[in-house]
Structure 1
Amino acid sequence: MKMEVRLQKLIAGTGLSSRRKAEMLIVSGRVSVNGRIITELGTKVDPTRDHVKVDGKHLTSAQPFVYLILNKPKNVMSTLDDPGGRTTVKDFLRGVSVRVFPVGRLDFDSEGLMLLTNNGELAQALLHPRYHVPKTYLIKVKGALSNEEISRLERGVKLEDGMTSPSHVKKVRKVEANSWLEITIREGRKHQVKRMLDAVGHPVLKLIRIRMGPLSLGNLEPGEFRFLMDREANALRELIDERMTSVERGEEPATRPKRPIRREGWAKPERSKKFSGKKVKAT
């Protein structure tokens, strides 16, 4: 019985590239099937019978790449082990048979989205400062920021290790003497968001990472995780492909937000769409 799949899907499924880059490989004549160069997108092959080569090398299936999002709770280490015996993100990954590792870190007292994967190349690219992958945080701060203070954050503030790159700041709501903000940055300095808010006189009281690149925390409860859907994993790989291509061409990715900044009043907090797929809760 034949089990045919699209050629670009087969290539992407081995972890060699994203679906989009696989299409580019095909169109540029770098893929052959049974000794014949294939340049037509949509060509179907039977992986159990057909011999596929990319750049003259046989396409081989590596260990499947695994990607998952964890909502890291407060007072949990964002590492796989801790010499002090504190709770780590690994303690919430029961049932995950493949060894995955965190992409970046969140402070011990911070919460929110953490990506874990066994794809080391993609993880390294996501953390590379030249690729400017945006990260968005929902933050509770002491007091309420003025428009001028928000403008300072967006232009960049001077820290002990230099000026920060432009960011995007949105007022969310005010609660008694404190307030909530959303801030998007494209750098990864240590304690950066907390230091930026300290610099304008509004210490952070609570910090939750809600987005990273195309990924969103959604409605995961603290301590819950879920595996990425195919479209999310592809979007992640395609984002990195685009950033790497821009850098190779000498076109630094844009660091300024594209949408206009709202100044008037307090915006309603964004409501995440309910995730309809599998959700796993640690027990």
Structure 2
Amino acid sequence: MTDTDAAEHLTPIPTEQLRFELPPSFDTVGGERRHRKERLAAALRLFARLGFDEGVAGHITVRDPQHPDHFWVNPFGVPFPRVKVSDLILADSAGHVVEGRYHVNQAAFVVHAQVHAERPDVVAVAHSHTVHGRALAALGEPLEPITQDACAFFEDHEVYTEYTDAIVDEAGSRLIARALGPAKAIVLRNHGLLTVGTSVDAAAWWFIAMERACQVQLAAKAAGRPVRIAREDALRTREQLGGDLVAWINYQPMFLSVAAAEPDLFQ
């Protein structure tokens, strides 16, 4: 019997028996809080693996499920590769630490707080000073629909055209949050990238995907004249690839990899 003959006699496994993990639901606030903190610590470890950490720059915040105006965030001065769940701090919207033993980076946290305030649908916000994100930000340009992956951001990201100092006040942060509007991401001119999502996984995936799209765009333009995808095709692709569920699914192999290799992050 040939392989082809054997394949013709195989019986398909019922769909309901196939494993396909979806975002979990929770019966308790405590369970959901623990889950969000675990995903936050894992995302920080993953950002370190990808080289997204630099000095004390960079934040990922996640909204507390019980207190929506309080946010879990990485502790100031603790290296991304060493962050554990027990290291995370909880800060209120004014940046006051209400739980944890570390300081918060006030200069960056204020931007996150304003984004969370303007966007009650957002659970997590990610920002860091990455090489290609900063390079595109230095040009003050948006991502262009030149690859399938970049289409996830087509007409769903903004460019903030004012320069932001290292220390951003509440008024300036509010302008950034309003410039983001309903989009999933924003390029901060001469600064870097910021992404949001309905989960830590989605916000982290959008940041990773955006940084890589920046890298491809910069490389393609340096080599020649990239061919843009037509608007109707780009919009259709965004509808297929640009949702937070798709982001969550794409992120799972990365999460599973760092979780298996670095189980101490859950301590």
TM-score over 0.5 for the pair:
no
Q: Which has the larger radius of gyration?
A: 1
TM-score by length of 1: 0.30
Higher strand proportion (structure 1 or 2): 1
